[in-house]
Chains A and B, each alone.
Chain A
Amino acid sequence: MSPFLDLSRLHKTFPTPKGPLTVVKDFNLPVRKGEFIALIGHSGCGKSTVLSMIAGLSDVTEGGIILAGKEVVAAGPDRGVVFQAPCLLPWLTAFENVMLGVDRVYYTATRLERRQIAEYYLSVVGLAEAMHKRPAELSQGMRQRCGIARAFALSPKMLLLDEPFGMLDNLTKMELQDVLLDLWQRDQKTALIVTHDVDEAIYLADRVVMMTDGPEATVGDILEVKFPRPRNRRQLLEDPAYYEAREYLIHFLNERSHHRPAPVVHATPPPAAKPPGGGLKRFMHAFAAL
């Protein structure tokens, strides 16, 4: 079975005044349906760039993205995006912000049904009371909740989240992580989250993808997180395997992220296919990076 989302030999080059800058080079990642992927890496390495290519908001320079058997060429409501800043339209209420997408996706449903869909997702994220307020009247956490409700209400095939909880306090962050996991499990989505937070990555993801530093960033290593679901924070914190995983990720970020990987993939991604780039080519890249 071919992967649900397949990033193959993905390149991204930006034109800059100093000539073209290759930010992402030869990025390969097959993702199973229903899988939760966390993408970590140093600031500026190109995580958002990869995410916005999958979202279709940024063109792919070279390589390809296949989602559910179709090549990604433009943005669309089959991918719900939760932006780093919540990006709500300030002139609409929380409810209207969610309705904007719902109206679009469920155009065959009646007005009442559409309202119910929006209200359902807003109450799941805990905004039942505040849904008729404008973003300016909401706290940062509430805005982010609204952004999540908007993405989920589209009933997308895939969820893309770019550091969605980066600006929140710890308590709100943990609560929203649980909201996210809850929705993800309920609707059996495929999800990809970009994060700086190693603990968040382990708590949420089935696989943590580590990116090497840019420019020419790529997949440095992949860690499989095998804790059973639903996960329990307390139990996780008592498990020595949790600290091993944490240590592994931190070690990567501190020591290994500066080098492009040797042509071996650490964990075995679901279809154990050879990356299309070919071993020799990857080796040459690794060689060139030294």
Chain B
Amino acid sequence: MHATARTFLVNTACLLAGLLLCLGFWILLSATVAKELPTPAATWEVAKPYVLEPLAKRGEQDQGILRLVGYSLALVAKGYALALLVGTPIGFLLGLSKGFARVFDPIVQILRPVSPLAWLPLGMVLFLSTGSQALENGALFTIAICAMWPTVLNTAVGVRAIPQDYLNVGRVLKLSRTQTLLKIMVPATLPYMFTGFRLSLGIAWLVIVAAEMLTGRTGVGSFLWNEYNNANYGNIIFSILTIGLIGFVLDRLMSVVEGRFKTV
């Protein structure tokens, strides 16, 4: 008890020290090289209406921060769900079938490093026929395709790592293919799958900002870009902090879920 209280104090002190250092550096920057950069106090001044009334809706872009975050999260949720729905089966096929892996592994390796900024125009072209929905669909496509890879790769690794002993149990019991898949392979792969899911969520959140900036769809990303155009530079910093914080919270949440499956 004593020891844990002590480490808690030490950790908090270290965190505060880090924050103070960053603040100091920020103030120093705005006082010397980057004269246009708002100080922490000025940043708080511009951000205040968005924080204090987080659910306000004053106009299309002028909305409380929680509303903006909500729009972004909703789009991320859809794109992420798509990524998991498509990525998990592909991962399973890559892990199960040597032939499939031989054909598609090189393609995965080539598509994986492509930036979201490059996918987005392609996405919009793909969905041109959907008219007013093209922007939204293009953004979804981009989130899904960029966020998919960690799920694909981790699932494939997980399937290849299923201990032969577990599969032997299935063979001795003469389980059918579906039963082996559902009762043995999927549970055995879950820890790997969830590592993939967590990494994928991180990427989906990373992509949302780019997608919103380019498509102008309302959310934190487009808010940041608009405020840059409006020369409200304080809100750029405010948006960055918000995006970082949300990303951090999402990652923590997924870690908790992932941890559940790791203990199995």
Contacts and interface: CB of A to CB of B under 8 A. Distances in A.
Interface of A: 55-57, 74-77, 79-81, 83, 85, 87, 89-91, 100-101, 104-105, 136, 154
A100 B168 contact: no
Given A90-B264, A91-B264, A100-B183, A57 B166 contact: no
* 10 shortest interchain CB distances as A-B pairs: A75-B171, A91-B187, A87-B165, A101-B173, A91-B264, A75-B172, A81-B172, A76-B174, A104-B173, A57-B168
B175 interface: yes
Contacts of B184: 89
30 contacts: A55-B172, A56-B171, A57-B168, A57-B172, A74-B171, A74-B174, A75-B168, A75-B172, A76-B174, A77-B173, A77-B174, A81-B168, A83-B168, A85-B165, A87-B166, A87-B169, A89-B166, A89-B183, A89-B184, A90-B264, A91-B190, A100-B169, A100-B175, A100-B183, A101-B172, A101-B173, A104-B174, A104-B175, A136-B263, A154-B173
B182 to A, nearest CB: 11
Nearest to B179: A104
Contacts of B174: 74-77, 104
Contact of A89 (B169, B171, B172, B179): B169
Size bin of chain B's contact surface? 10 to 19
A155 to B, nearest CB: 13
Contacts of B166: 87, 89
A79 B183 CA distance: 21
Contacts of A85: 165
Contacts of B169: 87, 89, 100
Given A89-B187, A91-B187, A100 B173 contact: yes
The B interface, classified by DSSP as helix, strand, loop or mixed, is helix
Interface string B221-264: 00000000000000000000000000000000000000000011
Interface in B79-94: none
Nearest to A81: B172
Contacts of B183: 89, 100
A144 B253 CA distance: 37
Contacts of A55: 172
A74 to B, nearest CB: 8
A108 to B, nearest CB: 16
Nearest to A90: B264
A38 B40 CA distance: 80
Nearest to B175: A104
Contact of A87 (B168, B175, B179, B190): B168
A101 B168 CA distance: 13
A80 B169 CA distance: 10
Nearest to A160: B172
Interface string B149-190: 000000000000000011011011111000100011001101
Most A CB within 10 A of own CB, among B179, B183, B263 = B183
Contacts of A74: 171, 174
Given A75-B174, A77-B173, A91-B264, 16 more contacts: A56-B171, A57-B168, A75-B172, A77-B172, A80-B172, A81-B168, A85-B165, A87-B165, A87-B168, A90-B264, A91-B190, A100-B173, A101-B173, A104-B174, A104-B179, A105-B173
B171 A57 contact: yes
Contacts of A87: 165-166, 168-169
B227 to A, nearest CB: 49
B65 to A, nearest CB: 41
Contacts of A136: 263
Given A89-B166, A90-B264, A91-B264, A79 B172 contact: yes
A289 B56 CA distance: 90
A100 B173 CA distance: 8
Contacts of B187: 89, 91
Nearest to B187: A91
A4 B16 CA distance: 77
Contacts of A75: 168, 171-172, 174
Most A CB within 10 A of own CB, among B172, B175, B184, B188 = B172
Most B CB within 10 A of own CB, among A74, A75, A83 = A75
Contacts of B263: 136
Contacts of A100: 169, 173, 175, 183
B260 to A, nearest CB: 11
A72 to B, nearest CB: 13
Contacts of B179: 104
